[in-house]
Structures are given as structure tokens and as C-alpha cells.
Amino acid sequence: MTSRTLTLLVTGFIIAIECAISFNSLFLPDVQENMNLSDQLASYSISFGLFATGFAAMLYGSLCDGMGRRPIIVMSSILFSVGTAITIYAQNVITLAIGRLCQGLGSGSGWVVGNASLRDVYSERAYVRIINYVHSVVGIVPAIAPVIGSYLLAYMQWRSIFSLLLIFSLAILALQIFFLPETLKEKKKVTPKIFFKNFSTVLLNRRYQYFLVIKIFTVMLLFMDIGTCSLMLVNYMGVEETTYGYYVFPLFALYVLGTIFSEKILSRFMSIDTILILGVGSIILGNFLTVLFGLGFGWKLGAIAVQGLKMFTYLGFGLIFGNATGSIVDSVPENAGSGAAMMIAFEMILSAIGLGVIGVFFDGSPYPYSIAALVSCISVLIITSLMNRLRYIHIRA
């Protein structure tokens, strides 16, 4: 019963976090107009929260090894709810940034401490399987949230919709307080020396490094798309805000299907490494076709064509995220909290940097993103291939 309750409560908290990310993207054109923000400043408002998440993740990783999983999750849920409340009442970019900061600080424990908690009660392959389950369930949220958000926009303002998210996050907080179990059997003493020792042990693990490279660059691509997609479709391609969700839904639906297909079918015939490389290849294919048709052939790609080609990218995400996460944390089982923390920290910080870069080159077209995706994925293939060929690590069978 403990493992089932834990899985449900961890998943519920992550769902709230993913709803916030989806709504922050979906409502970006409205927030931009309401607060008179430029495209670049609007995308920076999202990257600010990601930086906060990355910073918090590093702290939570060691704190949850010393204080336990439960108090960190409850504390961060409170921070997340406070941040959501501030966002609702924000009247300018400074207040909005403070709200995103608190949301980010609260979000940091979702995947970090959640991963560590699940690793406490599940071992090896069972852990990878449960992580794929969590990814498949949570992956539905970015598919459904924009559709629901777009529908609600026809009847209420974005602040009111965030109020619904606040109610949901408070409900999750109440359930955590009364039902969340403590999974850490033996608490460790946390000092600055131990803090840095744990992180150095994790970062020097070659298997950890290998899977981390694949995960952080692809997560960066996800957030780069989330941070610019609504601006591109609504502001430049004429998509109505009330129908925006329908352009996003198929992508995340395919992401979920990719996660399930990977766990139920591909894992029977392929190694995890092969599945990950297949996912990277799918991302390369979709963005290569976008650049080829749009820039090479000079075709004018509309919203449907852009999102259609992007389905290859989200299929790749589905093949990568759950498998890479499980492999990363399972590489350092004795330092699961620190391992998950460093993973999330690198993901969020690199994503924030990626959003900053794409904000500079964003021109309302899909090509800056596609070029960035090609460069990132080819770099991943080169790095992982060199790690194998130079015998820095041997992963592939």
C-alpha cells in the first residue's frame, strides 16, 4: 500500500507542476499583452522559473537525504502554491517574476525527491518500469492541459484558470500532509563537505554522465518548444487561442504512446541505449524535414504542417525521457537523491539557457528551433559515440 500511495502522490504533485508549465506557455500571449512584454521578455519569464527550479533541485537532492523525503516534498508544495497565488495577482513583470521564482523553487522537488522516493521502494528494472509509468501518466497532462486551458479561455481570464490550478495544488498539499509516507530508511548527515562529496561522486560516475548527456539536451529542446510554440502559433501563424490546445494535443499524445511503446514492446528486443539513440534519431528526422521543406524547398509551412513534422520530435521524447531518467538515477543507487537533483538541475539550467538563446533568434518561424534541435542532437550522438569508441564507457551490447 505504501508504494502505491507514494506513486500516486508523487505523480499528483508532478501533474500540478506540469499543468503550471503548460499554462505558463499557453497563456503567454495573454500575459504578454496584459503586461506589455516583448517576445524576448515573455520567453525570459519562463526561463526565470526554470533557473529557480534548477537551483532548488541541487539543494533538495542533499536535503532529502538528510531530512527525509516527506518534509522536503511538503515544504516545496507550499512554495509552489504560494508562487501560483502570486502569479494570479501579478500586475507587472517584477511580481510575475517573483511568482515564477516561488513556483520554480517549489517545482524543484517534484521530479528530484519524487525520483529518490520511488527509488527507495523500487529496485533496478522495477524502478525503470515505474518511472516509465509516471512519465506516461504525466505526459498526458501537457496534451490535455492546453486543450482544457484553451476551452476555458473562452469563458474566463488566465488569472481565473490559474486559480483552479491553485485549488488543485492545495488539494495535493493536503493529501501529502495526511498520507505521504516517509521512504528514507536511514537519514544521512548533511554538511557542506558531504554535500559536495555526494555531488562529486555522482558526477564522476561515467554511466551517469552518459545517460545525463542524452537526457539534458533533449529536455532542453522540450522547454525551448514550450517557451516559443504559443507565441509562434498565436502571434505569427494566426491560430486562435481557444483552439491552440488542439494543435498541441497530438504531440503529447504521441509522446505518451512513445513511452508506452518503448516500455511494452521495444524493451523486449532492444537495449535501453538503443532505444535512446532511436529517440534522438527521431528528433533529428523531424527537424531535418522541417528545415528541408521550409528553407531548402522554400515551402511556406503552416501551423498544421509545422506541428505535424514536430510529431517525430515528440515521439523521440517519449522514447527517451522515461528510459533515460531510470538509467540515470539507477546508475547511482546509493546517492539517488543527489543523482536526481543533479539531473533536474542540469535539465532546468540548460533549458533556461536554451530559452534565452532561442529568444534572441526567435522570428515567429519554426526554423531557429529546428536548427537548434539538429545541432543539439548531432552533438549528443557525437559525444555518446566518442564515449563508447574511446572506451571511456561501454554501454552498448
pLDDT at 123: 76
Are the C-beta atoms of residues 84 and 165 closer than 8 Å to each other? yes
What's the rounded Cα separation, in Å, for the pair 197 and 210?
20
Tell me the backbone φ, ψ of residue 373, rounded to 5 degrees: -65, -40
What's the rounded Cα separation, in Å, for the pair 31 and 91?
10
pLDDT at 397: 42
Closest CA to 257 of 269, 265, 245: 265
pLDDT at 315: 95
- pLDDT by residue (tens digit) across 208-250? 999 999 999 999 999 899 888 988 998 899 998 888 888 988 9
C-alpha cell at 175: 493529501
pLDDT at 37: 81
In terms of Cβ atoms closer than 10 Å to its own Cβ (0-12, 13-18, 19+), residue 24 is buried
In this structure, the number of other CB atoms found within 10 A of the CB of residue 272 comes to 19
pLDDT at 394: 63
CA distances to 65, 259, 265 from 323, rounded to whole Å, are 24, 8, 13
pLDDT at 2: 67
Task: Domains for the chain: give ranges and CATH numbers.
Answer: 2-179+191-389 (1.20.1250.20)
Give the CB-side neighbour count of residue 342, counting CA atoms within 13 A. 24
Which ranges of the chain have pLDDT less than 50?
1, 396-397
Give the CB-side neighbour count of residue 127, counting CA atoms within 13 A. 22
Radius of gyration over every alpha carbon of the chain, rounded to an integer in angstroms: 20
pLDDT at 1: 46
Q: Where do the H-state alpha helices sit in 240-271?
A: 244-261, 267-269
